[in-house]
Structure 1
Amino acid sequence: MGFGFFSKPFFLFLSFLVFFTNLELYPLVESAPDYTTLVYKGCAKQSFTDPAGIYSQALSALFQTLLSQSMKVKFYKTTTGTGQTTITGLFQCRGDLSNSDCYSCASRLPTLADKLCGKTLAARIQLYGCYMLYEVAGFAQISGMEMLFKTCGATNVAGTGFEERRDTAFSVLESGVVSNHGFYTTNYQSVYLLGQCEGDVGDSDCGECVKSAVQKAQVECGSSISGQIYLHKCFISYNYYPNGVPRRSSSSSYPHPSSSSSGTGQNTGKTVAIILGGAASVGFLVILLMFARGVMKKKHDDY
């Protein structure tokens, strides 16, 4: 028989099968950081001594209470222990997370607190979708307006009218977070914004906190295309998309864009899949015919 059967069309056929067996069609969407991604950690310099395990027990009870509540609500604050071992703590999820995503996010926080901070008198762990903090009784309090963390995009868009557009969007955010009682997201002329205050902060104080965060963003980030500012009692983020806010890959991704852009992204992905699928069918038919032709030619030559 020899190797005459393995003609060029047959190799093309095998190559085609291998290619399309390994091909995966992904919709054309922009990925975003997962809501469980670590943003920053804040750990007190002082650690507690705990030979009898009293602090550890109180802290464990605190975490258990917070996690059980994260399946039901987006914010919860409580206290455990007595006297010097009293520990106050809270968790908060971003306002647009579902209850299941909130729990999934919050469930990572106790382990991260222990891993990143150890047995400190106070700790705060901030993920994209949630955060948790605790303080042992007597720990020095800080101002609600104190900046804990900032990040600014590396790309600058100075001189394009961006600052004016962003500042107008900031004004919309400042009023929106008050009228929506502590959490607000919006798209304004290709600027996506998100603002949230701690759950026990009143509307007026929330507005002042977000206003302070906006001012810090303007100073700290300048003409950066994106930024996040975390104060003790609130945080804001903004992203500028010159070509329009893209669709994100998950309803719980960060940030969460408008549904109108989401529809466009889905249609684009489906269209590409249909085009590739049609091309695959045509290519398969062509190579199949070439393969059959090669087999027939070989049989003719053998005779």
Structure 2
Amino acid sequence: MVVHLISPIARTVALIFISLPSLINTSLLDYDTLVFSKCDSSDTNILQKTTTTQYPNYSNHNLFLRAQALYSFLSKLESESSRAKFFKTLAGNDQHAVSGWFQCREDYPSEICHRCVTELRSISSRMCGNATSARVHLRGCHMVYEFEFVDTPTAQAYNHHNYKLMETPERGLIHKICDGATAETLAGFEEMRTEALTAAETGVVDGHGFYEESYKLLHVVAQCDGHVEACDCGECVSAAAAAAAEECPWSIAGQIYLEGCYVGYTYNPHEYPGDSYHEEGGQASTGKSLAIVVGGVAALVFVAIFFLFLKSLRRKGDDC
């Protein structure tokens, strides 16, 4: 009797354990939180190069072409995000085209990358719908695009082969986040951060554009845009490290976004080598959360079996 009661529970438990990795990935990885966005609508002249004689209803036609180009671009990005962590393209029509790319955190699963880019598409459309260029960063991915005017076959070929936005630009500071907590009382903090970020400079080159490690009491994450060459990537992370020291001198955590790369560090007195996703509240906490979930499921199963066993004993007593 008890065996028959346990069998359905065993099947249920098996299904729960099979789905645990997916539940952990989608619920605990903080991939869709908006970090920052920049929408530029100042270059409106890019849409003012078509003669009114060619299109009498000029304004509405331009808006339609622009929306069509952006829709095509965003659709391409969303489609490719299920297969790649970085993708650049140019999409559009005879009058307007959009060039740009998306990039996901290299250590996030492909499923999370796709979900993140899907969220990027929604957020960018909502926040930067009328912008001629935009940059939107979420925790797990980011996207950059710019409208380009295409009025001749020559211009189209030029734009398609050169990808203005894909060239490595000057490493200007785009955005910074400095934790308000101070590390002035922490002995050797500056030296530790310098050493940790110096290791990241070498690490991104060896790691093909991505680095994540714990160094003493610091956890560091660095990533370069997919079109940035290895040596340029190391130099960009070096510049980001210098910017972190200048912009966030005593912050126990900081994030520096430059043209071409990103660096983030977090001070954690309980840090252990090998932790990852810590900066986003991820794998280190994911491992603990997984243990809690597994323990909780095991406890519930035990209680359920116990009560079913008692119930079976009562029924047996009734039969007597």
- What TM-score do the two structures reach when normalised by structure 2? 0.67
Q: What letter is aligned with 2:60?
A: P
Name the count of aligned residue pairs: 243
Task: Give 1:116 shift.
Answer: 1.1
Task: Give 1:158 shift.
Answer: 1.5
Task: Give 1:252 shift.
Answer: 9.8
Q: Deviations over 1:55-94 (max 9, x none)?
A: 1111101111111000000000000125651210211000
- Given candidates 77, 85, 95, the residue that maps to 2:88 is 77
- Given candidates 136, 142, 146, the residue that maps to 2:147 is 136
Measured in 2, the distance between the counterparts of 1:187 and 1:164 equals 15
- Given candidates 164, 167, 173, the residue that maps to 2:200 is 173
Cα gap change, 1:252/1:67 in structure 2, threshold over 3 Å: closer, same or farther? farther
Measured in 2, the distance between the counterparts of 1:32 and 1:45 equals 35
Partner of 1:254: 280
Cα gap change, 1:253/1:226 in structure 2, threshold over 3 Å: closer, same or farther? closer
- Given candidates 260, 263, 274, the residue that maps to 1:233 is 260
Task: Give 1:144 shift.
Answer: 3.7
- Given candidates 99, 102, 114, the residue that maps to 2:113 is 102
Q: Write out aligned runs for 1:88-237 (5 A).
A: 88-137=99-148, 143-159=169-185, 160-237=187-264
Partner of 1:64: 75
- Whether 1:51 aligns to 2:77 is no
Instruction: State the percentage of identical aligned residues.
Output: 35
Cα gap change, 1:229/1:33 in structure 2, threshold over 3 Å: closer, same or farther? farther
Measured in 1, the distance between the counterparts of 2:122 and 2:242 equals 34
Structure with the greater alpha carbon radius of gyration: 1
Residue segments in structure 2 that go unaligned for 5+ positions in a row: 1-26, 49-58, 150-162, 304-320
Task: Give 1:143 shift.
Answer: 3.5
SS of residue in 1 equivalent to 2:197: helix
- What TM-score do the two structures reach when normalised by structure 1? 0.71
Cα gap change, 1:65/1:268 in structure 2, threshold over 3 Å: closer, same or farther? closer
Structure with the bigger percentage of helix: 2
Compare relative contact order (CA 8 Å, sep 6+) and give the higher one, 1 or 2: 1
Cα gap change, 1:270/1:93 in structure 2, threshold over 3 Å: closer, same or farther? closer
Task: Give 1:43 shift.
Answer: 0.7
1:40–1:126 CA contact under 8 A, matched in 2: yes
Task: Give 1:273 shift.
Answer: 6.5
Q: What letter is aligned with 2:236?
A: C
Residue segments in structure 1 that go unaligned for 5+ positions in a row: 1-30, 281-303
